[in-house]
Amino acid sequence: MTTASSLPGGGFQLGDQTVSRVGFGAMQLAGPGVFGPPADRAEAIAVLRTAVELGVNHIDTADFYGPHITNEIIREALAPYPDDLCIVTKVGAVRDSSGGWVLARTPADLRQQVHDNLKRLGVDQVDLYLVHWPQGGAMRAWPGMERARERGLTRSIGVSNYSARQLDEVIGSGTVPPVIDQVQFSAVSHRRGLLEAARKHGVVLESYSSLGTGKHLDDPTVAGIAERMGKTPAQVLLRWCVQHGLPVIPKSTHRERIAENADIFSFTLPDEDMFALNALDETGGTHEANESTWW
């Protein structure tokens, strides 16, 4: 059995589960454009099994990835699921016939998506549903997701891509706060105000695209820190996130990289490196790179 101390980086609380700070983002296990099947389904299955063998017990998915394909691969790879595995999936969108992403948030849409996820993952209860994207009536969707939770169809509910103001709004619109807000948050794209709002509300802020979708691994600042510390650029960028208190869900289709991405807890980035990485922000964020309270 996995214990909190054997999880990479120790565990953190996600709803009523203790999960690894490094999760696995399964989005691109589907084909190009997150649409259709992957070129190598057997390898996608092997990647997922490798992640779980390494103690990564927190997997991010959605039935609109593929669509359906990512959930089907997760089921094939991992069912019957280990007791401590937390599968985080999403509602609020579907795909059209050419792969376009379409908001779908009426009560009937949400009911359908909840049941589609349960069916494709092969479970009676999902661990965590996220309401994906804040626009298009998402606030009205929240009470429906609370009912799904009360009916036992999910253990917990959260949101994806909400700003500080939208977190306030969703918390005001329901009786249960989201346990998590999954957002794009990395050294090149971060928002101090959102981090502070999430902390204030007790909402876990989880980083996706922590590696800048892979585009920032060659950045000279990142590469320089990595070389000096004897780590890889991916490890430096992921470590930056966890030192800010954010769990991460990096994606990789390479098994050896799963191990590399989980191995970020044996070193600490010193203040000067954190400040140098903070300064890579491309979003015009409001933080001061040298402000010691920021990080």
Ligand X SMILES: NC(=O)c1ccc[n+]([C@@H]2O[C@H](COP(=O)([O-])OP(=O)(O)OC[C@H]3O[C@@H](n4cnc5c(N)ncnc54)[C@H](OP(=O)(O)O)[C@@H]3O)[C@@H](O)[C@H]2O)c1
Candidate residues 60, 181, 273, 281; the one interacting with ligand X per rule CB under 6 A: 60
Whole-number minimum distance, CB 232 to ligand X, in Å? Answer: 6
Candidate residues 217, 223, 259, 289; the one interacting with ligand X per rule CB under 6 A: 217
* Contact region with ligand X (CB under 6 A), list: 9-17, 116-124, 195-203, 254-262: 254-262
Residue 14 to residue 128: CA distance in whole angstroms? 9
CB closer to ligand X out of 62 and 274: 62
Residue list 115-174, contact with ligand X (CB under 6 A) = 160-161
* Contact region with ligand X (CB under 6 A), list: 102-110, 190-198, 219-227, 256-264: 256-264
Whole-number minimum distance, CB 218 to ligand X, in Å? Answer: 10
Number of residues interacting with ligand X: please give it, by CB under 6 A: 27
Q: Does 247 bind ligand X (CB under 6 A)?
A: no
CB closer to ligand X out of 169 and 263: 263
b/e code 190-226 from CB counts within 10 Å (16+ = b): bbbebbebbeebebbbbbbbbbbeeebbebebbeebb
Residue 280 to residue 188: CA distance in whole angstroms? 5
* Contact region with ligand X (CB under 6 A), list: 98-106, 147-155, 169-177, 209-217: 209-217
Q: Does 257 bind ligand X (CB under 6 A)?
A: yes
Whole-number minimum distance, CB 153 to ligand X, in Å? Answer: 20
* Contact region with ligand X (CB under 6 A), list: 19-27, 107-115, 193-201, 219-227: 19-27
Whole-number minimum distance, CB 207 to ligand X, in Å? Answer: 8
* Contact region with ligand X (CB under 6 A), list: 48-56, 73-81, 139-147, 208-216: 208-216
Residue 197 to residue 31: CA distance in whole angstroms? 36
Contact 184, 204 (CB under 8 A): no
CB closer to ligand X out of 50 and 252: 252
CB closer to ligand X out of 37 and 175: 37
Tokens at residue 62, please?
Answer: 């959605």
Q: Does 182 bind ligand X (CB under 6 A)?
A: yes
At 219, give phi and psi (nearest 5°): -55, 135
Query: What residue type is 295 in one-letter code?
Result: W
**Alpha carbon separation from 245 to 8, 82, 188, 198, 241 (Å, rounded):** 14, 26, 16, 11, 7
Please name the residue that has the structure tokens 């997701």: 145
Residue 103 to residue 86: CA distance in whole angstroms? 25
Whole-number minimum distance, CB 193 to ligand X, in Å? Answer: 19
DSSP state letters, 177-240 = --SEEEEE-BTTB--HHHHHHHHHHTPEEEEESTTGGGTTTT-HHHHHHHHHHT--HHHHHHHH
CB closer to ligand X out of 217 and 289: 217
Q: Does 261 bind ligand X (CB under 6 A)?
A: yes
DSSP state letters, 137-178 = THHHHHHHHHHHHHTTSEEEEEEES--HHHHHHHHHHSSS--
Annotated catalytic residue 162: no
Residue 258 to residue 261: CA distance in whole angstroms? 5
| Residues engaged in binding ligand X (CB under 6 A) | 25-28, 60, 160-161, 182, 208-214, 217, 232, 234, 249-254, 257, 260-261
Catalytic (active-site) positions: 65
